[in-house]
Structure 1
């Protein structure tokens, strides 16, 4: 991947958008969430020829068609605001004192020209992969204001706990890029690191209540641990994820088992059978002991469970799993039901 810093005028962006050569909402970009005040402030910044942050584009060049398409990696809200103002979707308010009450058509010709010729700083990522894009976002988020809990953690921590989880999330990008365990859009907000953190938590302290507060507590409790603490956890994460992808990726990619709640339950079940899961409330009352994993037997039961999730009619044998999957999936009560059923499905010594 090469990155090229350049400047383009607003008129360039309008032309690309008109010709459908600009993609504002690729999978990895967050939705439009700017307030009217933020939009006005941006336009006022432009009309006063003040600097704005860089726009990041993934530029895809197709040699066969000799065409170029640009995907907005970072800057969607800014560009939407610019396009909306240019197409008379809103007027400026008192937040733009010199231009209060004006739409684009109300501006003097000189101001319209200033707006259209404003040079937007751009970094182009040439033919970058999804993994490249996520790496860029991770680095950007290390130096910017964070919004999600995952982004806050990425900014707050520099200890091995952060890098062990971040590196594993990056190295297992197949989970987000190919299987959608976390969507690319959510991965941009580092939510894939939350799911990876849960895998480390499962192996380190057990499969219990989840959610961002639990993850925050884990980071805090492991802040002083060195790389040696996380090395065996990472090795076990790698073993389990590798086998999930190899054994179930082809047949179950579009099922509930590659949605992150049941993916984590499956992960925990395999960890238990390998003897790697610390005792917790989810293991209480479980009569099956760790032992060999019956992959083919598991596939049969998981196929029935996945089908039950799709069917309108309730299947008594699988009703508990379906109901638990529909309830608060991050709570112990729900996790225990799904975990124990998957242990039973995968255990070679199950009745």
Structure 2
């Protein structure tokens, strides 16, 4: 059975082993070096702060009268330390200490001495067999729960952006909304999700798979005015979501909008409307609530209403891509605008309303929209089929313009009474309407 020694060594020893060619960092069972530059920098920060590192496992053998060591577990840490000693990287962000911007060669004598004296705890196996080394490597790694990306960010990117993300993730709203699970809370997925929303507020809809680390790095020190502005936008959008869903029995938790894909796009849509200076103050929410219920009930991959099916699929297939997130946000923004703006839809919003109403009319049993067969509000004659001679509109006294309170008109009837709010059916070649939501 292999014998283990617990032996602390200063960094100076590790450097000497490497320079003498008596330290093997990457035996064939080790994974390749995978640490990001920020992780290496923050490891050096821990050393400079004299924070203990986890133990490193080595196999020690005698070759040609000299002690040779093979790294069993700890390759990434030793590689980062040796790389810093070689001058491979400087103490750039996310490091924010007094040595910011310096390489090891820029340290003064006292700083060099303190760094090289830092002691690392090693578990060293005396002359183990190859099978014993591999067994230790398997045991050390097999029963370790890997850190999530967000748990790594907490270690690698301390700073303002992380602090704000964690603070906002525990807003009282989220306790009742059902957006986060207990596991999300334990593994910091709640803070990661909030940071994705913050990134969207700062620089538009982002792809989850790329770029989030850049916000943590770039906003390690977040200018106070910019930070306060984004936090204010976040909280104001959250207040509007709470206000809207308070009108629905069971609140947001009872709807599909508690799901992260839906909530992200809903949040972006509301923030963009509020950024136009729009508000729900004094607005009648009843028709908007009817539309939200319509979406909550109707959005399914198997829905008869094609555009509802398309939305549902974009919540599953590449749900966190920038393209899917942007499409869903535009869809929801078009619906919400009917109450936020208090005027008929325009541009792409007109296309959206016609697509929803046309799809509902063609569905076998949508049950969501005004029935296709009803009397024209102007001439009281039956509208039997929805075709290109029919247009959408709202009554003269309407102040909100949602799908739920829209009506079909005979187009020829709309010229006889100017009191109706009418939107003409867009054509593929028409450029009369601005291309805006």
**What is the TM-score normalised by the length of structure 1?**
0.50
The structure with higher relative contact order (CA 8 Å, sep 6+) is 1
- Normalised by the length of structure 2, the TM-score is 0.41
